Amino acid sequence: MPHDHHHHHHHVSSETGDRNLALAVLVNLGLTVAQIVGGLLSGSLALIADALHNLSDAVSLVIAFAARRIARKPADAGMTFGYGRAEMVAALINYTTLILLAIYLAYEGVMRLFAPEDVEGWMVVIIAAIALVIDAVTALLTFAMSKSSANIRAAFLHNLADALGSVAVIVAGTLILLYDWRLADPIVTLLISAYILWHALAEVPGVIRMLMLATPPGMDISEVSQRLAATPGVASIHHLHLWQMQEHEAALEAHIVIEEGHWAEADAIKATLKQTLAERYRIHHATLELECAAHACEAPRLIGHG
């Protein structure tokens, strides 16, 4: 369907969003310190793993915050399309670090499977319970913004994974307390690692596609080209480019061949094409080069140049 790519975004004001992010950073830094101390005192790898993840949350939130500020800068001579993609660059950085962290945690978990260490279960359970509450609060601070921003979604997924990771740590600590099952700690670490990896790898392709100027998701370029070509007075279309200029802003450029005898209506035809793009596909940034049938490009390709 042509409208599959439309979403109703719940936008949060810039001031509110910035304040929420700043608060989330402070909360995560405080939690990180508490978890590292608790992990060292109790000997829990899972707790220290969760602390490292929380530290990565704080860093990811700082990156997300900086990217939001940069993205609001207006276009200039150096960046004629504006700075909106700063948020996608930030998202890619955050997902990449998340993947590296997950691999490191998996390595540590496997090592400790072969050499389990003593863990003080009560310390683990208490600190993880505190972490769960703080993770939930931090996730709530970024939830509304994550719906409309891949940048904030990367930071939100850090926190969501942390919250679930805290639940897993509580389970591991309880198992150690009740059954002295020390393998629970590295197993939980591996589960946290797998969960982080799964989420990050699911989001990365979309971010890379946008940075690679891919067609917007859910938008069928064949359907778009056919609808434009069916406009009265249009003979054909070629050199078509359709891409995401920013996360929620698609752009299109194309050569439009005007049918013989209709050149006098060229401006009206272009206006109709732009109206179709705006109303049906929400493409408001369209560059259309008009060609008369007698002087059109020779043997052109529909998509791209050549």
Q: What homologous superfamily does CATH list for 14-211?
A: Cation efflux protein transmembrane domain (1.20.1510.10)
Hey, CA dihedral for 245, 65, 51, 143, is it positive or negative? negative
What is the per-residue pLDDT across 109-166, written as a single tens digit (0 to 9) for each? 898 888 776 666 677 778 778 878 877 888 888 887 887 788 888 888 877 777 777 7
Residues 6+ apart with CB under 8 A from 60: 94, 97, 98, 154, 155, 158
Q: Do 14-211 and 221-295 show the same overall fold?
A: no
pTM (2 d.p.): 0.77
How many Cβ atoms sit within 10 Å of the Cβ of residue 158?
32
Domain spans in the chain, listed from the N-terminal domain onward: 14-211, 221-295
Taking only the tens place, the pLDDT of each residue in 72-95 is: 899 899 998 889 899 999 999 989
Architecture of the CATH domain 221-295: 2-Layer Sandwich (3.30)
User: Are residues 184 and 171 in contact, defined by beta-carbon separation less than 8 angstroms?
Assistant: yes
Handedness of CA 51, 54, 60, 66 (dihedral sign): negative
Burial class (CB in 10 A: 0-12, 13-18, 19+), 195: middle
